[in-house]
Amino acid sequence: MRAREKCGVFGIYGHPEAADLTFLGLYALQHRGQESAGIVASDGKEIKSHLGMGRVSEVFSPEKLKGLTGHLAIGHTRYSTTGGSNIKNAQPFLADYYDGLIAVGHNGNFTNTKTLRRRLENKGALFHSTTDSELVTHLISHSKTKTFPENLIEALAQIEGAYCLVFITKDKIIAARDPHGFRPLCLGKINGGYVVASETSALDIVEAEYLREVEPGEIVIISEKGLESLQPFSVRKHALCIFEYIYFARPDSRIFNHSVYLTRKRLGEKLAQESPVDGDFVMPVPDSGNYAALGFSQKTGRPFEMGFIRNHYVGRTFIQPAQRVRDLSVKIKLNPVRELISGKKVILVEDSIVRGTTSRSRVRTLRNFGAKEIHMRVSCPPHRHPCFYGIDFPTSDELLANRYNLTEMTKYLNLDSLGYLTLEGMLAAMPLPPEEFCTACFNGEYPVEPEEGLSKEVLER
Amino acid sequence: MRAREKCGVFGIYGHPEAADLTFLGLYALQHRGQESAGIVASDGKEIKSHLGMGRVSEVFSPEKLKGLTGHLAIGHTRYSTTGGSNIKNAQPFLADYYDGLIAVGHNGNFTNTKTLRRRLENKGALFHSTTDSELVTHLISHSKTKTFPENLIEALAQIEGAYCLVFITKDKIIAARDPHGFRPLCLGKINGGYVVASETSALDIVEAEYLREVEPGEIVIISEKGLESLQPFSVRKHALCIFEYIYFARPDSRIFNHSVYLTRKRLGEKLAQESPVDGDFVMPVPDSGNYAALGFSQKTGRPFEMGFIRNHYVGRTFIQPAQRVRDLSVKIKLNPVRELISGKKVILVEDSIVRGTTSRSRVRTLRNFGAKEIHMRVSCPPHRHPCFYGIDFPTSDELLANRYNLTEMTKYLNLDSLGYLTLEGMLAAMPLPPEEFCTACFNGEYPVEPEEGLSKEVLER
Amino acid sequence: MRAREKCGVFGIYGHPEAADLTFLGLYALQHRGQESAGIVASDGKEIKSHLGMGRVSEVFSPEKLKGLTGHLAIGHTRYSTTGGSNIKNAQPFLADYYDGLIAVGHNGNFTNTKTLRRRLENKGALFHSTTDSELVTHLISHSKTKTFPENLIEALAQIEGAYCLVFITKDKIIAARDPHGFRPLCLGKINGGYVVASETSALDIVEAEYLREVEPGEIVIISEKGLESLQPFSVRKHALCIFEYIYFARPDSRIFNHSVYLTRKRLGEKLAQESPVDGDFVMPVPDSGNYAALGFSQKTGRPFEMGFIRNHYVGRTFIQPAQRVRDLSVKIKLNPVRELISGKKVILVEDSIVRGTTSRSRVRTLRNFGAKEIHMRVSCPPHRHPCFYGIDFPTSDELLANRYNLTEMTKYLNLDSLGYLTLEGMLAAMPLPPEEFCTACFNGEYPVEPEEGLSKEVLER
Amino acid sequence: MRAREKCGVFGIYGHPEAADLTFLGLYALQHRGQESAGIVASDGKEIKSHLGMGRVSEVFSPEKLKGLTGHLAIGHTRYSTTGGSNIKNAQPFLADYYDGLIAVGHNGNFTNTKTLRRRLENKGALFHSTTDSELVTHLISHSKTKTFPENLIEALAQIEGAYCLVFITKDKIIAARDPHGFRPLCLGKINGGYVVASETSALDIVEAEYLREVEPGEIVIISEKGLESLQPFSVRKHALCIFEYIYFARPDSRIFNHSVYLTRKRLGEKLAQESPVDGDFVMPVPDSGNYAALGFSQKTGRPFEMGFIRNHYVGRTFIQPAQRVRDLSVKIKLNPVRELISGKKVILVEDSIVRGTTSRSRVRTLRNFGAKEIHMRVSCPPHRHPCFYGIDFPTSDELLANRYNLTEMTKYLNLDSLGYLTLEGMLAAMPLPPEEFCTACFNGEYPVEPEEGLSKEVLER
């Protein structure tokens, strides 16, 4: 299991086929969550929704989309870490607010969930899911202020942790990002309307023009009156998720205002400087290792080869039938090119190592195909700490770097050498100053302390 | 629409989990046909089968596989060109032969189908499908010789065209390849048993050891007695499908005894020599253009960049919802990296161009992302003629090279320059002598004349 | 469309296979709702649930049932009148109460829904469905008393109208019936445990022994401590739904403490006395008219014949293909026996007439099959008024008896004569005194006034 | 398990919505086979078909029906006795005849299958199913005569046993009934066109007018030229299946030219005469026992009561969850009316007893509900012999009457008395002379000897 992002969000106002474009946007954000998908649309009067388990392509049919008429819509793709895969946890979450239906999609993770929930239950609130999205709707409905924006500000003020929230009411789209700015959220323009999305690849697909980030702590309200921006909260230290640049975001996206592709290449270049090695060629573990490998190859002048071939027909669930074939699910996804590998010194570039089991299988496969030497280079430091802000890592006990030192890891993975990028090297390759980032999963420095229960729960998971 | 291979075949004898391994083998051959899949297995006494429409992963569940017990099995993946997508045409084709059940999977295309069918109908034969596979079973059942191998030889002697046939009876696997050897078929060893498969990537996945090609004109019988080889037909000129090397076969496969990956790189190198151009970097149209682009880059020293990012979540059927988004289905599959493309001279490497509509959309997308110049290089000559031996091209009228000359194509595709590899260049990059290949789709020189009706039908399709 | 009951409820405590028995109980209550079904079970510690759209047999598989372990369970079958058919409205309704999960199934209809809902929304409650079941859970969660029974009593005290509610907490089953006792609810004993169900046919199927009714206004709590009965509300006039005896309840059930079958036969006898007629034989419109027809036949001595044959293969949704065949969906369900009908004077017994369209088609069919005379007798008075207590009639405008007088109805239905049972005759056939019943749908005397909006809504539906 | 009919057939010529009417006709014949269904239609030029596993309502959607355009069509519902439930055995069976597509549906059973099959296999025929329908198409395609009718006559001349065959070619409907006339087949008229069907209830549903039987040995050809009748075979002794009157055919059908309903009533009257008994009332095992029970009641003057209530929501497959509930699948279908049964002497009328297990459960249930005495009367003689002509009985060993004598059966079923109708009584109640009928299942006198293998197979099944 790789680390997994919790979600992708999308919202659009001002296009006659808002739900259709949202559907496309979700396609472009599918890598951020494949467990459930949903779209909520409005024509200014009535809100319609469709949600389901599975990928965007499985959840929506042309008929389903046809029913989602209107010029504003939000969408969500989800991967869940807790509570099991369940249609009740699918998003956007809909609630019948005294003022009409509202729906909300969320990317991130609140760190004071239990406190908030206890507080609301004491007031009589009944919960139907375990999502942060439901929590925020209750906070809004229990607010005593008068307008929806006031209710929302009052609600957000109680929340700690990471969030990018996109709301829809019958005539408005509202987007909010937490003051630390953990997760990315961008703003685009389309035919006089607006789009918000987790990544710019979702703007590209709908041919929206990139405007800017939704800023940390900003609330953006999009309605008939155009775009209104609120900054109701005091400024806090930024804590952009550095792992979005390393692994999560799509390489064709611009996040936190800079290109992911170019950043990853710089990580590879830095890695080549910090951890040089002699080899016949550089090859990535595709697709996530491709870009650092390109940087590594270009920096060192050693040829780039695509020595693993990806099988595009392996779906989400691979039925493993034959017990006797070793490393099957690993091999069926990536098969090496025997004539390239055989008898060669291979420099293998990987974006990150989490538990190490998959890497170990890959190395074994290369050995079986006759590789003479295998040198692995990893374009970020070792992962050692849990994330409380929306990424699902294995428990700390399972993280390879918590079980072994470098020598042991090299042996465990059966490598000739293993090199990680340093924290400093990683930060130096970034397009923004070091203080802008959250690097907690590498060094344990948490910008926001999680409440007691949460931190325990994650460690034991 | 790309050109499409008609089928992939797999057979195994001598492994206790024959059907499970066949299932894996079909996964590795999925690119050769995604319309239907089937497995027929035997335990030496009883034949069991399961076939269905769709991909291998959709057709088989663990329960279905469990029922297919036995130590021999064959499998098939199919894409059909004629007669519509229909479960009746799914393969392996089963028939209740007087001597017990037989089943057969086929890759290729007979060129005298109508003659054969008329002949059999006059004898009272009833047909249930329009497949070559059914035809061959009738030829076998109407043979007056005594043993199955004799029946088979008598049947094959009547067939003209391209075939790789894999049969299963209750206790034997039989593989036959036409004397011209149009399509690939390889033989491997596994734990004292044998495997036959269209490509070696299917041997890799089941950890079988590559032995050799099934030779053109060879019949291989695998049973309790081991492997027996027959060469009953007179030798004919070889006509290996060159397009397997260019586009169809997997890059990690060895076909016709040589590496596809290395051959494709040489095509790219040759292309760089024949059609040099100034540019900031070389980028492929992934994934099929990757390897020629690597060869081109390494030959010229210009950097290799992966400027198109592939969306892995686009399934077989993409629901196109929004009429207003141009080139949608093209763009959703491959999105360019804006920061890389913008303001640059791009050398774009493609393996082949058939109708040109997709290429045109790709170029338009790159222009929209700010490319300054776009120079396309194609690693084979222009396609101008239909294939009668198992590949489905668009009709001749639709082939771009039949509609325009090079200048017109450059303009139609909106390129700054366009260069194709020459026929001579292509042949020079091959690992075998020119006279071994069929190059009919490029130069119209057909090794076997199709019967009247067939050739017309293909041209009008 | 016939009149439709809104729901059936079932609950069991003290059997190791509580969910399995609930599944059976729901089968026996399927006639009370076929739109959705659900079961919630507990093993004393954890609550598990499964709900789905469709019939009991469609919603539950052996695997689904297996997961519902524990010795207590409740179940629900539902037909909805408002808000559309929607999984969100499926029941039992689950809510995460501060004290743990609770779930509730409901049969009946609250008559002050809007008042209750407005009151709760002002307190911050968010609604996810339009069901009375959700409403009652919010009333409970907003109660300020300390124990669950106290919360429940406080909640019920605010509700007006008809209800049979069955709750499950992790270790208790609680059943409550409104003080008027509109809908039936019975109590049975099984191996030292208890069962509650809408009808005794559900006790029969699980081999529970009938004990008694859950009394109007009674709350029954079943737990480890056994059965506890509360009667917290002041006594009100009983208002048992007389239409349960006439049409809804199963003939093999005992409701309100008396046999439905025998009551229906008495209705037929009374009808024969009040509205005698000359005819060759008495035949029912099956199955609901069977029992009154038997009573009519036995009282008059005229032979009973089953002149309509029911097609058991017509599912819930009949696909009507051919526009040219008249009365098709009617005829496909019941086809007459030509040789019996032809040339005869038929006395046709129906339990009730609502809109009259189906009856009209039936009569036309009999005429086409050669009936000489057709005399229809109906075993209740004409329906003229809406029901606010859990039965879904057509709007008042659509009720046949509101559109025509008796002569006009006779003509509209193309009968030789038409006779309804009188209100007095109906009450005389009942096993309980007249003052025990609600007869509002016949005479408009409503025991509980509905709030403004509700009554309008029903009339306009 | 009850005895089961093998199939129902339907054909129509001359109606613009031929497939729609066939769909309706199959609904009316659904009781004759619920395992698969199919329709083949033609517009005079092209033949289209749709077949599937399951009931008519499951196999056909409005879209599927829409595709089946044309003015002629045939349909089939099937229950299979051998070879497993399999889409390959679904009918109508389609074959690509040298003269174009033909399709055929079959009701009956050939008794010389093995001989025919061996003969055809020796000529090179390949089989894809184990159906008689496929066999007949091979016989036709191997005929050396010139026209289709000649081919058909030559084919039928080789067949022994029972058949009603309905063929469709692109412009004709052909129906053929074997010379003994085992199974029913009727002919109707509709708007200048014609209908053939297994039973008249299928004519009723499409509003066709009954004309006559298709006579034993008759071939009827319906085309543009109208209806042509051939009688190419020599006359043989008639052998109409008497069990169609007793149990199989719908009570609203006329078969062999007479009413099923009235015949069943006469069986009940005869039974009352032959086997009188004292009791409080007569009640049937519904629905098949209803009509004999009515006859019994009317003959004796004892009241008729419907003491078993049928649950209409039990589908084809009832999931039996709870092991502890005895006789569950029996009880869930029919629940007794406790207040009626309790303390009473019950005369229970059943149409037939095959294995006796279900009857035994029913009696036990009645005892549990307090019946004082139970006297069972059966409206046909005991079943003792297998049927080779299209009905699937349990093996001879399983037949109750082969295991016990009357006293033992009475005890096994836990009855106070048991009475069967005599063979003479049964024949006397029939509307045709005794010599018209096949009564082999009662007395073992087979009108056509089955070939060796077949008779053994049935006995051992």
DSSP string across D181-226: --S--EEEEETTEEEEESSTHHHHHTTPEEEEEPPTT-EEEEETTE
Measured between CB atoms, which of D98, D122, D126 is closest to B138? Answer: D126
B445 in D contact zone (CB under 8 Å): no
DSSP designation for A301: -
Average pLDDT estimate for A336-346: 97
Min distance A315 CA to chain B CA atoms (Å): 7
The band of B448, judged by pLDDT with boundaries at 50, 70 and 90, is very high
Domain-located, residue B21: yes
Collapsed DSSP state (helix, strand, coil) of residue B118: helix
CATH classification at residue A271: 3.40.50.2020
In chain B, residues with a C-beta closer than 8 Å to the C-beta of A34 are 313
Query: At D53, which helix (H) or strand (E)?
Result: strand D47-53
Cβ neighbours of B312 in A, within 8 Å: 31, 287, 312
- Chains interfacing with A (3 or more CB pairs < 8 Å): B, C
Chain C residues with beta carbon closer than 8 angstroms to that of D326 = 207
Angle at C255 between CA C249 and CA C260, to 5 degrees: 60
Is residue C444 in a domain? no
* Two structure tokens written together for B374: 């776009």
Give the number of other CB atoms < 10 A from CB of residue D104: 28
Query: Does the beta carbon of D287 lie under 8 angstroms from any beta carbon of chain C?
Result: yes
Residue with tokens 């007569």: D282
CATH of the domain at D222: 3.60.20.10
What are the C-alpha distances in Å from B158 to residues A264, B91, D380? Answer: 60, 22, 62
Containing H/E element for C274? Answer: helix C260-274
For C335, nearest residue in chain D (alpha carbons) = D252
Residue D84 and residue D33 share a domain:
yes
Which residues is B392 bridged to in the sheet?
B4
CA distance C99 to chain A (A): 9
| Separation between Cα atoms, residue D406 and residue B152, nearest integer Å | 62
3-state secondary structure of A239: coil
Cα–Cα dist C90/C7, whole Å: 11
Q: How many CB pairs under 8 A join B and D?
A: 45
A405 to chain C, any CB pair closer than 8 A? The answer is no
Among D314, D322, D339, select the one facing C259 at the smallest CB separation.
Answer: D339
Tens-digit pLDDT profile for residues C53-89: 888 988 998 889 999 999 999 999 988 654 445 677 7
Catalytic residue selected from B7, B380, B438, B441: B7
**Who among D303, D309, D322 is closest to C17 (CB)?**
D322
Give chain D positions within 8 Å (CB) of C259. 337-340
Q: Name the residue of chain A whose CA is nearest to B341's CA.
A: A252
Residue C122 to residue A98, Cβ atoms within 8 A: yes
Task: Judge: D127–B96 Cβ closer than 8 Å, yes or no.
Answer: yes
B154 and B36 assigned to the same domain: yes
- Count CB atoms within 10 A of the CB of residue B118: 10
pLDDT of residue A319: 63
The rounded distance, in Å, linking the Cα atoms of D349 and D265 is 12
Tell me the mean pLDDT in the region B179-187: 98
**Of C150-164, C308-322, D198-212, D368-382, minimum mean pLDDT range:** C308-322
Chains A and C touch, contact meaning at least 3 pairs of CB atoms under 8 angstroms apart: yes
* D330 in reach of chain C (CB within 8 A): no
Render pLDDT for D105-146 as a digit per residue (tens, 0 to 9): 999 999 999 999 999 999 999 988 888 999 999 999 999 898
Q: Write down the ipTM of this complex.
A: 0.93
Question: Angle D252-D256-D257 (CA atoms, 0-180°, nearest 5)?
Answer: 70
Per-residue pLDDT, B324: 59
Tally Cβ neighbours within 10 Å of residue C141: 24
Catalytic-labelled residue, pool C7, C380, C387, C441: C7
What is the pLDDT confidence band of residue A392, given thresholds at 50, 70 and 90?
A: confident
Q: Give yes or no for a contact between C447 and C250, defined as CB atoms under 8 angstroms apart.
A: no
Q: Does C199 touch chain D (CB under 8 A)?
A: no
Q: What is the pLDDT of residue D317?
A: 55
| Contact with chain A for residue C297, Cβ under 8 A | no
Task: Determine the Cα–Cα distance for residues D384 and D393; give it in Å rounded to an integer.
Answer: 10
To test the contact with chain D by mutation, choose from B126, B137, B140, B143 the residue with the greatest count of D C-beta atoms within 10 A, namely B126
Interface contact C337-D259, CB threshold 8 A: yes
Q: Cis (ω within 30 of 0) for the bond into C287?
A: yes
Q: Strands (DSSP E) along B232-344, which ranges?
A: 240-241, 254-255, 258-259, 281-284, 308-310, 334-336
Determine the Cα angle at A172 with ends A171 and A173, to 5°: 145
- With pLDDT > 90 as the criterion, what percentage of chain A qualifies? 79
Q: Which tokens go with D430? A: 């029939």
- The DSSP 8-state label assigned to residue A146 in this structure reads S
B179 within some domain: yes
Distance from C-alpha of C233 to C-alpha of C217, rounded to nearest angstrom: 6
C-beta atoms of C128 and A97 within 8 A: no
Last residue of a domain, one of D220, D236, D252: D236
Same domain, D108 and D186: yes
Q: Is C254 on the interface with D (CB under 8 A)?
A: yes
Mutate to test the interface with C, among D57, D312, D318, D319 (most CBs of C within 10 A): D319
Residues C289 and C225 occupy one common structural domain: no
Q: Chain B 93-122, CB below 8 Å of chain D: which residues? A: 94-98, 121-122
Q: Is the pLDDT of residue C460 over 60?
A: no
Task: Answer yes or no: are the C-beta atoms of D164 and D185 closer than 8 Å.
Answer: yes
Residues D301 and D402 in one domain: yes
Active centre residues of D (catalytic): 7
Q: Which pLDDT does position C83 carry in this prediction? A: 42
Angle formed at CA D176 by CA D173 and CA D181, multiple of 5 degrees: 150
Q: Residue A214, Cα to own-chain centre: how many angstroms?
A: 17
Chain A contact set for B291 (CB, 8 A): 306
Q: Do D123 and B123 touch (CB under 8 A)?
A: yes
- pLDDT per residue over B24-75, tens digit each? 999 999 999 888 999 999 999 999 999 998 889 889 988 899 999 999 999 9
- From chain A, the residues in CB contact with B206 under 8 A are 322, 325
Interface test with C, best of A101, A116, A126 (most C CBs within 10 A): A126
Q: Which residues of B touch D126 (CB under 8 A)?
A: 95-97, 125, 137-138, 141
Q: Are residues A275 and A172 in the same domain?
A: no
Please report the pLDDT score of residue C329 as a whole number: 74
Report CB contact under 8 Å: B315, A259.
no
Q: Please give the pLDDT value at position D113.
A: 92
Q: Looking at the structure, tell me whether residues C51 and C167 fall in a common domain.
A: yes
Cα angle C416, C422, C426 (rounded to 5 degrees) comes to 120
In this structure, are D209 and D278 located in the same domain? no
pLDDT at D1 over 70: no
Q: Indicate if C153 and C194 belong to the same structural domain.
A: yes
pTM, whole model, 2 decimals?
Answer: 0.83
Q: pLDDT, tens digit, for every residue of C178-237?
A: 999 999 999 999 988 999 999 999 999 999 999 999 999 999 999 999 999 999 999 999
Distance from CA of A412 to the nearest CA of B (A): 23
User: pLDDT tens digits, residue range A131-157?
Assistant: 899 999 999 999 989 899 999 999 999
What is the tally of helices (H) and strands (E) in chain D?
18, 25
Say which residues have a Cβ less than 8 Å from residue D280's Cβ, sequence separation at least 6: D302, D303, D344, D345, D346
CA distance A137 to chain C (A): 8
Is A165 inside any structural domain? yes
Does any CB of chain A come closer than 8 Å to the CB of residue C127?
yes
Q: Please compute the mean of the pLDDT values over residues D47-65 and round it to a whole number.
A: 91
Task: Residue D209: give the domain boundaries.
Answer: 4-236
Average pLDDT (D340-352) is 97
Higher pLDDT, C58 or A296: A296
Chains B and D touch (3+ CB pairs under 8 A): yes
> Is there a contact between C141 and A126 if contact means CB atoms under 8 Å apart?
yes
The 10 Å CB-count burial string (b at 16+, else e) for D249-258 is bbbbbbbbee
In a domain, A22, yes or no: yes
Q: Does D321 touch chain C (CB under 8 A)?
A: yes
Nearest-angstrom CA–CA distance, A39 and A55: 12
Neighboring chain A residues of C103 at a CB cutoff of 8 Å: none
In a domain, D246, yes or no: no
Report yes or no on C249 lying in a domain: no
Is D242 part of a structural domain of the chain?
no
In a shared domain, residues A27 and A86:
yes
Q: In this structure, are C137 and C286 located in the same domain?
A: no
Task: For Cα atoms B432, B438, B444, give the angle at the middle one, nearest 5 degrees.
Answer: 140
Same domain, D30 and D143: yes
Chain D residues with CB inside 8 Å of B96's CB? 126-128
- Into how many domains does chain D fold? 2
CA distance B372 to chain A (A): 19
A101 beta partners: A96
How confident is the model at residue C98, as a pLDDT?
Answer: 76
Q: Does the distance separating the beta carbons of B95 and D127 come in below 8 Å? A: yes
Confidence grade of residue C34 (pLDDT, cut at 50, 70, 90)? confident
Please answer whether residues B370 and B342 qualify as being in contact, where contact means their C-beta atoms are separated by less than 8 angstroms. Answer: yes
Q: Does D128 touch chain B (CB under 8 A)?
A: yes
Encoded tokens for B345: 């001279």
Residue B111 identity (one-letter amino acid): T
